[in-house]
């Protein structure tokens, strides 16, 4: 077996990861079998290396001392924890820049040099900075991504600062934006989002008010097919998201917290022949039934379905914290109406 040619070893390694090539793998020990195994397996092992606090330093040294960086297509530093310094991340990005397709930031932070280094990764399609625990300046982030022609997916960090000097320029091919951190009403008002946008995730934007969320959904609503708003959104009012159906008429997936909707969300739906396009609706809730606020009820959805306002709804998922009792008449009617449309109802704990 050790005498197998390099081409055969390459196929063996490819088969080891073929069931999910976009998941990090750590089969490095197999490279020690023989010289041909090393040559054949190297491109596969480095395609999406599995990095952690224990092997990160060795990985960085290897990338620094060899040309193996050109083999790296996906770089995920979320498990590296606090062993990753910003300067090291910057150098690593530059060494892996040639064919890098996705980058997930570490749990620490990224300095301006690392953010600038993103601009050298011209083939990047995905950037996920959602786990960063240190504040970054959005000015440097936009400077690093604005010319990435292939970038489709970006998640902003929960901690960031909005520079008054910021002149954002969005990459032209973005399909998904995960908004978080220092996203303000002014930032949204002056942003020109790409027409390619199809999905938005909005969470932990403590400065975004009802005006900002309305402006944002007004700007992207005609193109997006997926809208996901998550708690907490500190400045949103009780009815801030009652406009989501009107502003996003083609969204087939909508997820909203009950904290920011009222029964008017469903009452304001128009009774057109086609109804709304939503197919998957999720209503989460972060709160207690003991609060004084009036929560959306199952009967609100029953009325909307009975009036033909949600004819394409196939999957409803609601939080158990809403207090909708499965044995109640309203919930039974709700289940029956969705079942009549070929759909299902699920209860979640969130």
Q: Is 109 left (phi over 0), alpha (psi -120 to 50) or beta?
A: beta
CATH code for the domain defined by 49-174: 3.80.10
Q: What is the pLDDT of residue 80?
A: 86
Helix (H, G, I), strand (E, B) or coil at 219: helix
Q: What is the pLDDT of residue 33?
A: 74
Strands (E), 108-262: 126-128, 136-137, 153-155, 160-161, 176-179, 199-203, 226-230, 253-257
Domain extents in the chain: 1-46, 49-174, 227-350
Dihedral of the alpha carbons of 229, 234, 239, 245, in degrees to the nearest 10:
-20
Per-residue tens of pLDDT for the chain, all 350 residues: 557 766 766 676 666 665 565 665 556 667 767 777 676 678 888 888 989 888 899 999 999 999 999 999 999 999 987 666 778 999 999 999 999 999 999 988 888 999 999 999 999 999 999 999 889 989 899 999 999 999 999 999 998 887 655 567 899 999 999 999 989 999 999 899 999 999 999 999 999 999 999 999 999 999 999 999 999 999 999 999 999 999 999 999 999 999 999 999 999 998 776 889 999 999 999 886 656 578 999 999 999 999 999 999 999 999 999 999 999 999 999 999 999 999 999 999 88
Q: What is the pLDDT of residue 309?
A: 95
Tokens of 109: 């932070």
Instruction: In whole angstroms, give the CA distance from residue 40 to residue 9.
Output: 5
Count each helix (H run) and each strand (E run) in the chain, helices first. Answer: 12, 13
Residue with tokens 């029956």: 336
Angle at 271 between CA 195 and CA 348, to 5 degrees: 70
């Amino acid at each position: 077996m050790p005498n197998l040619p390099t081409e055969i070893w390459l196929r063996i390694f490819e088969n080891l990861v073929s069931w999910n090539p976009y998941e990090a793998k750590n089969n490095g020990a197999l490279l020690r079998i023989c010289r041909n195994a090393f040559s054949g397996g190297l491109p596969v092992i480095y395609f999406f290396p599995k990095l952690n606090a224990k092997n990160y330093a060795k990985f960085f040294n290897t990338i620094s001392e060899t040309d193996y960086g050109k083999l790296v297509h996906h770089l995920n530093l979320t498990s590296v924890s606090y062993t990753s310094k910003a300067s090291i991340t910057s150098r690593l990005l530059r060494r892996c820049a040639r064919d890098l397709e996705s980058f997930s930031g570490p749990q620490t932070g990224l300095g301006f040099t690392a953010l600038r280094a993103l601009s050298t990764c011209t083939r990047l399609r995905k950037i996920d900075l959602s786990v960063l625990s240190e504040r970054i300046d959005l000015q440097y982030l936009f400077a690093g991504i604005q010319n990435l022609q292939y970038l489709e997916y970006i998640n902003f960090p929960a901690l960031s600062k909005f520079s008054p000097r910021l002149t954002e320029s969005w990459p032209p091919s973005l399909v998904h934006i995960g908004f978080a951190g220092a996203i303000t009403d002014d930032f949204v008002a002056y942003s020109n989002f790409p027409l390619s946008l199809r999905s938005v995730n909005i969470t932990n934007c403590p400065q975004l008010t009802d005006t900002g969320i309305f402006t944002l959904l007004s700007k992207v609503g005609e193109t997006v097919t997926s809208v996901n708003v998550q708690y907490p959104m500190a400045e949103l009012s009780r009815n801030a998201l009652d406009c989501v159906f009107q502003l996003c008429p083609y969204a087939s997936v909508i997820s909203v917290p009950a904290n920011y909707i009222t029964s008017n969300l469903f009452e304001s739906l128009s009774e057109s022949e086609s109804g709304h396009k939503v197919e998957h609706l999720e209503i989460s809730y972060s709160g207690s039934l003991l609060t004084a606020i009036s929560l959306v009820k199952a009967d609100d959805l029953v009325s909307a379905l009975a009036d033909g306002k949600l004819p394409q709804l196939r999957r409803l998922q609601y939080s158990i914290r809403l207090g909708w009792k499965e044995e109640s008449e309203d919930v039974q009617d709700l289940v029956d109406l969705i079942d009549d449309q070929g759909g299902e109802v699920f209860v979640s704990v969130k």
